[in-house]
Amino acid sequence: MEKTSLKTGTQSILEEKILDWDSVQKSFDQSFGTEIYTSWLKHISLIKEYNDHVVLGVKTRFFRDWITSRYADKILSELKKHKLSINRIEFKIEPENINNKVNFSDTVINKITDIKNSFLNYNRLNPSLNFDNFVVGKSNNLGFLSAKKICSQLSRYNPLFIYGGVGLGKTHLLNSIGLELSQKNKVMFISAERFMYQFIKSIKKNEMVNFKDFFRKANVFIIDDIQFIRGKEGLQEEFFHTFNTLFDQSAQIVISSDRAPNKLDRVQDRIKSRLSGGLVVDIGTPDYDLKINILRKKISDYQLSFKENPDLNEEVINYIAKNSNSNIRELVGIFNRVVAFGKMSKKSLNVNDCKIILRDIYNTNKVISIDKIQNVTSNFFSISMSDMLSQRRSRPLARPRQMAMYLAKKLTTRSLPEIGRKFSNRDHTTVIHAVKTIEKLIENNDDMRKNAEELKSLILSD
């Protein structure tokens, strides 16, 4: 299992695949269908390509929001077919004809990554993962303080070993250290996986001497996700020697891992003892307060960069913090998604809207059935199920029926004909008419809007 994934990864990196945007576009056309492709995806450009992510250009903010909220996941999986190592997409708004403005982060990125196929290619520091935007709470305080400490006193704690679960901020901290120290030091920042790819590549090309020289020139060596070396003997051997050389030269070494050093099974004991020989700190799962503070920080970042308010009220913020899992990456993803939807629907969101937007994240196993919608709706309006499904057209029956059809359209992924069939074999045009009627009523009639909202929350709440 491990072997195959390792092999495909190695192959793709050995070829140093550079995305061929035309063929990516072709595959968008095929997998999304020509309509979506010509109206949306065709207009996306490739601005920059990194090993693990790409920066894509779009013309307007609206365009970006629309694409991220609807197609981002699928775009990512398409891109992965062309380049396996990509696991993130960034969108950049590039209005036509005003492309010449260069901002600070661009220059940093250019400086670090423009040199393709050279050893400098390892150092992919992300300018947006820095100490200033790392929000500190109980669970990550120690990690944060240690990271700051080694920046002010190199080699005082050597190595610094930071461990913790997925999406808790390890890479963010390591990257912050790299940024902070790169002004005055020779910083090497690399994931263990990338380290291995380069190692194998150097062996194949007979460039081991360069490889060794290169890494051993650093006076700050930062290696992310060291758990990757588990079970890989050759790699461990090389890592051990690199570590020792650097350590003897008093280079600062920083390491992250998904588990504590002594829990790294299938890693040589001598390496484990080196790893735990300095300062070992763990990052825990965020509590409610930290999640709230991260959301607040995201909101103020948003205000700063877009000069507008993302329009999330207190209730919504609390809801997201309370209902999200203990993974900060996911929390950030949810934030982006809610904000994008708010922008598109041009209204301030309430908790119900959030429930709907997030239902596929929170209730991945919970499928809302049309039966349930019919049940809740008929109860709500105090009519019987058989009356609701009957052919009678009196308003006290027709409205609840239309409401249930509307909800079925909004809350399930069923097609119009499927919904029609569930309502005593009605035609799909009847369903369209019902959806339109209720939409209009919701817009113009306060009672109707309240009914719809209450029903939605009843249906979603259990």
- Smallest gap from Cβ 224 to Mg ion, in A, equals 6
Q: Which of 167, 278, 342, 420 binds ligand ADP (CB under 6 A)?
A: 167
Question: Please, which of residues 284-323 interact with ligand ADP by CB under 6 A?
Answer: 294
Give the up-direction half-sphere exposure of residue 445: CA atoms within 13 A in the CB hemisphere. 10
**Closest CB to Mg ion among residues 121, 126:** 126
Q: Is 134 in the site for ligand ADP (CB under 6 A)?
A: yes
Give the up-direction half-sphere exposure of residue 416: CA atoms within 13 A in the CB hemisphere. 10
Q: Name which of ligand ADP, Mg ion, none residue 278 binds, using a CB cut-off of 5 to 8 Å depending on partner kind.
A: none
- Smallest gap from Cβ 426 to ligand ADP, in A, equals 47
Q: Which of 56, 58, 72, 135 binds ligand ADP (CB under 6 A)?
A: 135
Q: Which of 53, 64, 124, 172 binds ligand ADP (CB under 6 A)?
A: 172
Among 24-32, 40-48, 72-80, 165-173, the segment contacting Mg ion (CB under 5 A) = 165-173
**Closest CB to Mg ion among residues 78, 224:** 224
- Smallest gap from Cβ 87 to ligand ADP, in A, equals 10
Among 53-61, 260-268, 326-334, 390-398, the segment contacting ligand ADP (CB under 6 A) = 326-334
Q: Which of 42, 296, 329, 421 binds ligand ADP (CB under 6 A)?
A: 329
| Interatomic CA distance for residues 236 and 450, integer angstroms | 63
Among 28-36, 71-79, 131-139, 387-395, the segment contacting ligand ADP (CB under 6 A) = 131-139
**Closest CB to ligand ADP among residues 259, 329:** 329
**Closest CB to ligand ADP among residues 51, 140:** 140
Q: Name which of Mg ion, ligand ADP, none residue 414 binds, using a CB cut-off of 5 to 8 Å depending on partner kind.
A: none
Strands 53-58 and 187-191, by their bridges, are: unpaired
Q: Which of 14, 18, 166, 367 binds ligand ADP (CB under 6 A)?
A: 166
Q: Is 223 in the site for ligand ADP (CB under 6 A)?
A: no
Task: Give helix 395-411 / helix 370-380 axis angle, nearest 10°.
Answer: 140
| Interatomic CA distance for residues 199 and 214, integer angstroms | 11
Among 22-30, 132-140, 235-243, 268-276, the segment contacting ligand ADP (CB under 6 A) = 132-140
Q: Is 260 in the site for ligand ADP (CB under 6 A)?
A: no
**Closest CB to ligand ADP among residues 335, 423:** 335
- Smallest gap from Cβ 99 to Mg ion, in A, equals 32
**Closest CB to Mg ion among residues 86, 441:** 86
Question: Please, which of residues 137-156 interact with ligand ADP by CB under 6 A?
Answer: 140
Question: Please, which of residues 110-129 interact with ligand ADP by CB under 6 A?
Answer: 129
In what side-by-side order are the strands of the sheet with 220-224?
Answer: 187-191, 220-224, 252-257, 160-164, 279-283
Q: Name which of Mg ion, ligand ADP, none residue 172 binds, using a CB cut-off of 5 to 8 Å depending on partner kind.
A: ligand ADP
Q: Which of 121, 158, 171, 324 binds Mg ion (CB under 5 A)?
A: 171
Q: Is 168 in the site for ligand ADP (CB under 6 A)?
A: yes
Residues in binding contact with Mg ion, number by CB under 5 A: 2
Q: Name which of Mg ion, ligand ADP, none residue 271 binds, using a CB cut-off of 5 to 8 Å depending on partner kind.
A: none
**Closest CB to ligand ADP among residues 17, 329:** 329
Residues near 456 by beta carbon (within 8 Å), at least 6 away in sequence: 352, 355, 356, 407, 410, 411
For binding to ligand ADP (CB under 6 A), which residues are involved? 129, 133-135, 140, 164, 166-172, 294, 328-329, 332
| Site residues for Mg ion per CB under 5 A | 170-171
